[in-house]
Structure 1
Amino acid sequence: MKLSVFVKSVLATSLAVSVLASQAAYAETMRLRMHTFYGTEVDQIAADLSDRVKEASDGSLQIQFFRGGELVDSDQFVEAVAQGSISIAHGVGSYWPGTVGIGTIEAGLPGAWVSVEEARDIFANQGLDKIIAEAYEEKGVKLIGRGFGSDYGLVTTKPVTSLEDLGDMRIRATSSIATVLQKFDIPTAFIPGEELYIALSTGVIDGAVYGGPVEYEQLRINEVAGYYTDLNLLNPGWTENLLINPGTWEKMSDEQQQILQTELDQYLLDVHNWLEEGNQRLIDEGTLFEFATLSEEDSRDLAEASLPIWREEAARSERNARAVEILIQNAKAKGRLSE
């Protein structure tokens, strides 16, 4: 079939307009400053993210990545994103409970979930992330990603196989875990992660609840504390989030938003897989730590001791109460709480 000169002209013009429109949509390169709470251990994962985003967006989105502490402290992420000094933050809600009141619940209350699958369902399908997003919106930031940590066990300078073994030890723990341990007369203290090595080597503390085997390996904790005990209380032991400046998000085209969302989701999954694979490798090798697990009875006692923390968090606000109610109903459905 032969086309007239007029039709050919119209087609050529339409094609040119389409190309120009596509180029115009990407005319301005957006440079995104992304900050994580992790250190050098996620450098390769971050580099892969930057490469994928740049390629998928034809160079219109470019990520400049910053490690923990390089630009702002991790507990200042919410303010920094809201002000636009960083575009995207990769953090943990428990770093800023004074700024976002639901942060401690978001990060993970003791006994809230016992598997990644359960945690994903609670956040995505039972409405927890929707409630959390409301809280961040009020602070001028947009929640665009949910990540999941990994093992969250106890490392000590001598063997621990029961709660009784902890009676004469001082354990580093965050506030919620510390509250649970204190109910069993176990002394606790809070020490920043970067100070754990010195604190353990000098006897300031005798153990720490900080992460999984791979995190302890990164900090060389095995050199000063060679025993790892699974508390079987919260797994994954923390959740991670991605926050973006709303103005930055709204400047993107729909296609750019989809590209960024897809690649950030992959980034969070890559971090989780790195943690899981690293922890399993160290457990299988069995050379870095001597591994043990608390008895079911001790773990159940810890879980029951956690309930006052749930109630305390619920009492802080109506929003927190709604979030805790989701956790309660889930725990009942799983048989971990009685009716």
Structure 2
Amino acid sequence: MPAPAPTPAAAPEVIKWKMQVTIKATPSFGPYASIPEAYHAGVWSHSWVRWVEEATDGRLQIELLEPDAAFPGKEAIEAVGTRVVEACMSQPGHYAEKIPEMYVAGGMPGSWMSVGEFYDAWYNYGIYDKVAPLHEKLNIKFFPSLGMEYMNIMSNFPMPNVDSVKGHKIRFWGGWGKYGELMGATAIDLPYGECYMAMKLGTIEGVWTGAQSLDVIKLKEVVTDFVTNPNGCINSLIINMDAWNELPEDIQAMIVRETPYHFTVGGLMLLEQQGYAIGKAVEEYGLTLWTWSDEDIAMLRQGCIEEIWPEFAAKTPLSAELVDIIKTQLKDHGKL
């Protein structure tokens, strides 16, 4: 009598999440037009979701939701903490009032000038280990996406050095307004979507933004000059802790092990995409590029240390500790 056929192995459980993004991927040029998941903030959100699904052989499937689909972006920390969705690619600026240490860890003006410096501070100097538990108190598992952008001033006047922006009306956002004032500019608070018309009408003379804005909101049509010295800021992958704890241990281990590298590559790709946008603006519109000297950048950094960083350090004792960590890192590398 033949042996009974072996019982087929049970199909692995499929876990399904929803994840809202904060910034919509909006490619419209070059090699990025056909792959939205690879453009701008999509280098983290869309590509991470695709990687997770492939790496788990479909065991973890994540449905991406557009910005504000399930909740307003500024309510992300509460929405994820209470599991309105399982995850969100958010921004520290949306919840720094609740975790004020993120004003420091998210990239203070004058702090980091490369993706490598960002990574070094977070994972070798211990910033991640300091701020991750603050998220856990809000029922959040947290992973930073460390980004360095060609984020600086676009203008309608020449900008060969810091002194050249003094007295000019320039749009800044968030904490970067104080950085603009440090340069001597007149910092204007203006919604992103209004920058094009404000430049066209002469209401402002410049815009502090990332190079993708040359294409996304067509600033290449109304600006003539751009400072290319990069600056850093991060996005935050926040995951509901209950949903995280429900994951199989092998998936948890893979995400913890691989996500920092995945996001770091994303930060490098963001620079390349912005470089493409800059190159096309130079080619098609004659955009003039400026790179400020090491002396100018050092002067601005010292001004930040003296005038801006103390405000961040004063928010909490841990904020002060984080500022000291950054100073130590920069001193260790001869940059302070």
CA distance change for structure 1 residues 128 and 121 in 2, over 3 Å: closer, same or farther? Answer: same
Aligned partner of 2:196: which letter? Y
1:41 and 2:26 aligned: yes
Note the C-alpha offset of 1:184: 4.3
**One-letter code of the match for 2:37?**
Q
Quote the offset at 1:328 in angstroms: 0.9
Instruction: Work out the CA distance in 2 between the residues paired with 1:162 and 1:328.
Output: 25
TM-score by length of 1: 0.83
Task: Tell me by how many angstroms 1:47 deviates.
Answer: 5.3
The aligned runs of 1:1-339 (5 Å cut-off) are 16=7, 19-20=9-10, 23=11, 26-27=12-13, 29-41=14-26, 43-45=36-38, 49-211=48-210, 213-230=211-228, 232=229, 235-261=230-256, 265=260, 268-269=263-264, 271-284=266-279, 286-287=282-283, 288=285, 289-307=287-305, 308-337=307-336
Secondary structure, counterpart of 1:41 in structure 2: coil
2: CA distance between counterparts of 1:48 and 1:176? 29
Q: Alpha-carbon deviation of 1:169? A: 1.5
**Runs of 5+ consecutive residues of structure 2 not aligned to the other structure:** 28-35, 39-44
Distance 2:115 2:202 in 1: 34
Deviation at 1:163, TM superposition (A): 2.7
Alignment CA distance shift 1:153-1:251 (3 Å): same
Counterpart Cα distance in 1 of 2:79 and 2:264: 24
- Structure 1 residues 149, 37: closer, same or farther in 2, change over 3 A? farther
189-198 vs 112-121, which deviates more? 189-198
Superposed displacement of residue 126, structure 1: 0.5
Shift of 1:242: 1.0
The runs of 5 or more residues in structure 1 that have no matched partner are none
Counterparts of 1:297 and 1:277, CA distance in 2: 26
Q: Per the alignment, in what secondary structure is the counterpart of residue 63 of structure 1?
A: strand
Using the alignment, how far apart are the partners of 2:145 and 2:61 within structure 1? Answer: 21
Higher Cα radius of gyration = 1
Paired residues of 2:156 and 2:224 also in contact (CA < 8 A): yes
Distance 2:275 2:74 in 1: 30
Give the aligned length: 317
Q: Do 2:170 and 2:205's aligned partners in 1 also have CA atoms closer than 8 Å?
A: yes
More deviation, 40-49/62-71: 40-49
CA change 1:49–1:183 in 2 (3 A) is closer
Q: Secondary structure at 1:237's aligned position in 2?
A: strand
Percentage identity across paired residues of the two chains? 21
Given the two structures, how large is their TM-score scaled by the length of structure 2? 0.84
Q: Distance in 2 between matches of 1:220 and 1:314?
A: 37
